[in-house]
Amino acid sequence: MRDFLTVFRYELKTQLTKRTAIVTTVILMLVVLVITSLPRFISLFDTGELINETSGIVGDAGYVLPGGAIENAGYVLPGGGTDALLAPIAGDDPAVLFEDRDALTQALRDKDIQVGFVIQENLDYEAIYLDRSLQDSLDTQMAAILTQLKKQQLIEQMGITPEGFAAVEAAQAVGITTVLGRNSVDNYAISFILMFVVYMMVLLYGNSVSTIIAREKDSRTMEILITSTRPSSLILGKVAAAGLSAVIQFGAVVLVTVAGYQFNKHLYPEMVTAMLSGTLTTSYVLSYVFFSFFGFILYLFLYAALGSTVSKMEDLGSATALVQFLFIFGYLIATFAANMPSSAVAVIGSIVPFTSIMVMPLRSAVMTVPWGELILAGALMVLFVMFFAFLSIKIYRWGSLNYGNKTKISRIVKEALRSH
Amino acid sequence: MDLYVERGEDMQLVVNNITKSFGEKEVLHGVSFTVESGRAMGFLGRNGAGKSTTIRCLMDVFHPDSGNFLLDGSPFKPRSLKIGYLPEERGMYQKNGVLAQLTYFAMLRGASMADAAASANHWIDYFGLGEYKNKKLETLSKGNQQKIQIAQSFLNEPNILILDEPFSGLDPVNAQIFQNAINEFVKEGRLVIFSSHQMSYVEEVCDDVTLIHNGDILLSGDLDLIKLEEGRDKLFLSVLSGDTAWEKALSNAFPALGIIPGDDGLILDTKGRVSQGDIMRWLNEERLTVRRFGLYEPSLNDIFIKKAGD
């Protein structure tokens, strides 16, 4: 225990005082602070001009028409734009009106305008682009404008009062939804964010542990260490230190994220706050903490064992590729399980420890997982952690004696378990 | 932790019939020797003779296939003893501070944090590296890094010091500082073993030697006695003469005498049948000018080459 604490303290101090770790943490904290404060920055620069521009015009029937709102647009209107109903579409600028489709197309080719609309008598239209980007939705805007105009025409023709039509449009049924188990909609976003935190922690700190051990072996420090104390103290101390430093560094980032969000919460669009304020039930939190913690430790032991198998730093990437692949596979299953939490793949994925680290919390967020599955998955996770802790100690000891040619992982495991 | 030195007790380490194989190849064939505290023991052998493997077995880095190590009759357990160890392939954390990692190593060997820091400070200062305490190891020159690596083996003032090729790469000044540290340890009654190729250092520092060759121990014991034994019935003769005709005459005068050319003279093997006085008389009769004549004491280098040379 004493040696474990000595290793733990030294490794923790080394990790937390590493310049790269400090710089990375500070940068991450600043990035999340900026991201969570984006609505505040937007509100600071928001002068309200956009709202005025797009407020449109009020038609005879009293409806708001977003006419003249589309910038850099050209129009071909029936009757050359003399129709009082359509005139506001072009706004006050006669330069945006074209005689016919050819003139409009030429203006597009000359890049005088970004989009052209040829509008028919019946208010159907053709939108013409020279090039259209993924984000362009100018034709959708025009569709909305013309739909409004069509409605205005109909109201006038049918002699309906604007108030009457507004009352009809506002009428809707009020419903209440009651979910007895988990409501996937509520928890989907927040559980994905929390899963991503675990994903980042495993990849970053798993690699960190394997690098520390591989470097120890590469620099031949290992022989001094294993002749001074037991390999179990060394491996357990290193893994515990990596785990705690991950919690400290990610904890700092998460705290800043939460603080940034809370500080700017009132400026967030309602849709975003609704997504983020999912109901975190006690059972979900317990499932997340248990499977994330033990799964994280399990992966740290795997990375530690693989770090012991290489003789040179440059071989580390290929040695850890297998476990990286396994982990990313777990991430993909978790993504699948979020949409189909009761499928066989999701159930198996939430029980096998290598994937249950992410799949089980995600299933717990979107459905009520049967107790039997939770207990089986939890028991397997604890057993796997214990077995891989034992195996990584054996492989570390094996690694301290073996330098040189690459050896197959199956042979390493066999030799490590056979020796000592 | 053992308190041998503090209690002024002697220690005896017995290496008992150690065998070790790697795959099909046996590299140690029943290695046995004894080391006493208060006497430095030089462990000699050519490259690949089995020195480092024996030391690694002793330090429990490798497990021997058979045989055992006994300290005063009890099983030798390196992690429960105050041992300083310098591996052949030495390395430390390149990117960590010098004082911090030496303190860490001392703590792993059982010292409290305060004692570990005090010991680390002491040995850094001893090797004249006080100004580098808070520097990263990688910023030190290669020579200074070697001194720090040697300093780690002295941490906690170990009762047993096991050094694998400690003089390798050291310049003469640093070798002398290191030699002084070893001598002090030996005087204090500690048990010191070190392997080396450099016979001059072994001859200066060691009281006992053990010679291993191809996994077999060829000789082991008190260096002076070994030299005496190797020089038994042998004389050294150096004569001032322009030619070698006298050598022929000597051979004719004493047919039983074995004559071996040596450095700057002849080694005469009397085989117990020719006396030193008879040869002296013959030299006088022949009126030869004798530069040196007396008992032959082989150097360690001579013994090494004779025993371990193919």
**pLDDT tens-digit readout, A79-105:** 776 677 777 777 767 778 888 889 999
Q: Which residue of A has its CA nearest to B84?
A: A228
Residues B77-97 pLDDT 10s: 888 888 999 988 778 888 889
User: In whole angstroms, what is the distance from residue A163 CA to residue A148 CA?
Assistant: 15
Residue A62 and residue A142 in contact, taking contact as beta carbons nearer than 8 Å: no
Residues A269-309 pLDDT 10s: 777 777 666 656 777 888 888 999 999 999 999 999 988 88
Q: Is A64's pLDDT higher than 50?
A: no
Total domains in the fold of chain A: 2
Its ipTM equals 0.80
Cβ-defined contact of B92 to A3 (cutoff 8 Å): no
Residue A240 and residue A10 in contact, taking contact as beta carbons nearer than 8 Å: no
Cβ-defined contact of A6 to B79 (cutoff 8 Å): no
pLDDT band at A404 (very low <50, low <70, confident <90, very high): low
Nearest Cα of chain B lies from the Cα of A31 at a distance, in angstroms, of: 28
Choose among B289, B187, B183: nearest CA to B246.
B289
What rounded mean pLDDT belongs to chain A? 82
**Per-residue pLDDT, B210:** 93
Q: Which residue of B has its CA nearest to A237?
A: B108
**Per-residue pLDDT, B66:** 93
pLDDT band at A120 (very low <50, low <70, confident <90, very high): confident
Residues B180-210 pLDDT 10s: 888 988 988 899 998 988 888 888 888 899 9
Residues A152 and A122 in one domain: yes
Nearest Cα of chain A lies from the Cα of B149 at a distance, in angstroms, of: 10
- Name the residue with tokens 């051979």: B251
Share of chain A above pLDDT 70, in %: 87
Selecting from A7, A14, A230 the residue whose C-beta is nearest the C-beta of B96 gives A14
Amino acid, res. A246: A
Cβ-defined contact of A224 to B87 (cutoff 8 Å): yes
Residues A240 and A315 in one domain: yes
Residues of B in contact with A211 (CB under 8 A): none
Residues of B in contact with A228 (CB under 8 A): 79, 85, 105, 108-109
Residues A378 and A298 in one domain: yes
**Per-residue pLDDT, A57:** 40
Average pLDDT on A100-120 reads: 88
CB atoms within 10 A of CB B116: 22
Contacts with A311 (C-beta within 8 Å, 6 or more apart), sequence order: A217, A218, A402, A403, A404
Amino acid, res. A100: D
**Per-residue pLDDT, B103:** 95
Residues A106 and A198 in one domain: no
Does A168 fall in a domain?
no
Residues A204 and A94 in one domain: no
Which domain, by its residues, includes A401? 10-39+181-418
Residues A207 and A155 in one domain: no
Choose among B258, B261, B295: nearest CA to B276.
B295
Is this structure's pTM higher than 0.80?
A: no
Does A4 fall in a domain?
no
Q: Is A255's pLDDT higher than 70?
A: yes
Does A176 fall in a domain?
no
Residues A123-136 pLDDT 10s: 888 999 888 877 67
Q: Which residue of A has its CA nearest to B106?
A: A228
User: In whole angstroms, what is the distance from residue A294 CA to residue A209 CA?
Assistant: 16
Residues A211 and A79 in one domain: no
Measured over the CA atoms of residue B93, residue B96, residue B97 and residue B103, the dihedral's sign is negative
Q: Is A55's pLDDT higher than 70?
A: no
Nearest Cα of chain B lies from the Cα of A405 at a distance, in angstroms, of: 15
Nearest Cα of chain A lies from the Cα of B11 at a distance, in angstroms, of: 20
Residues of A in contact with B108 (CB under 8 A): 3, 6-7, 225, 228-229
Q: Is A417's pLDDT higher than 90?
A: no
Does A169 fall in a domain?
no
Residues A309 and A234 in one domain: yes
pLDDT band at A62 (very low <50, low <70, confident <90, very high): very low
Q: Is A56's pLDDT higher than 80?
A: no
pLDDT band at A58 (very low <50, low <70, confident <90, very high): very low
Structure-model confidence comparison of residues A315 and B55, the more confident one: B55
- Name the domain boundary from A95, A129, A160: A160
Residue B116 and residue B108 in contact, taking contact as beta carbons nearer than 8 Å: no
Does A3 fall in a domain?
no
Average pLDDT on A312-332 reads: 86
Residue A325 and residue A333 in contact, taking contact as beta carbons nearer than 8 Å: no
Q: Is A54's pLDDT higher than 60?
A: no
Average pLDDT on A259-273 reads: 81
Bridge partners of A129?
A: A115
Nearest Cα of chain B lies from the Cα of A294 at a distance, in angstroms, of: 28
Residues B130-158 pLDDT 10s: 899 999 998 998 888 888 999 999 998 89
Q: Is A61's pLDDT higher than 50?
A: no
Selecting from B94, B100, B108 the residue whose C-beta is nearest the C-beta of A229 gives B108
Residues A72 and A212 in one domain: no
Give pLDDT < 70 ranges for chain B. Answer: 1-8, 310
Does A395 fall in a domain?
yes
Cβ-defined contact of A223 to B89 (cutoff 8 Å): yes
Selecting from A228, A401, A420 the residue whose C-beta is nearest the C-beta of B105 gives A228
Choose among B309, B145, B126: nearest CA to B214.
B309
**Per-residue pLDDT, B7:** 59
Residue B202 and residue B300 in contact, taking contact as beta carbons nearer than 8 Å: yes
Q: Which of B108, B119, B162 to mutate to test the interface with A (most CBs of A within 10 A)?
A: B108
Cα–Cα distances (Å) from A165 to A86, A123, A153, A162, in that order, read: 21, 20, 12, 5
Q: Which residue of B has its CA nearest to A214?
A: B93
Nearest Cα of chain A lies from the Cα of B153 at a distance, in angstroms, of: 9
Residues A278 and A381 in one domain: yes
Does A97 fall in a domain?
yes
Residues A203-228 pLDDT 10s: 888 988 898 888 888 877 888 888 88
Cβ-defined contact of B108 to A216 (cutoff 8 Å): no
Would you call A10 an interface residue with chain B, using a CB distance cutoff of 8 Å?
Answer: yes
Choose among B258, B254, B253, B252: nearest CA to B271.
B258
Residues A220 and A341 in one domain: yes
Residues A138 and A268 in one domain: no
Would you call A186 an interface residue with chain B, using a CB distance cutoff of 8 Å?
Answer: no
**Per-residue pLDDT, A405:** 65
Does A1 fall in a domain?
no
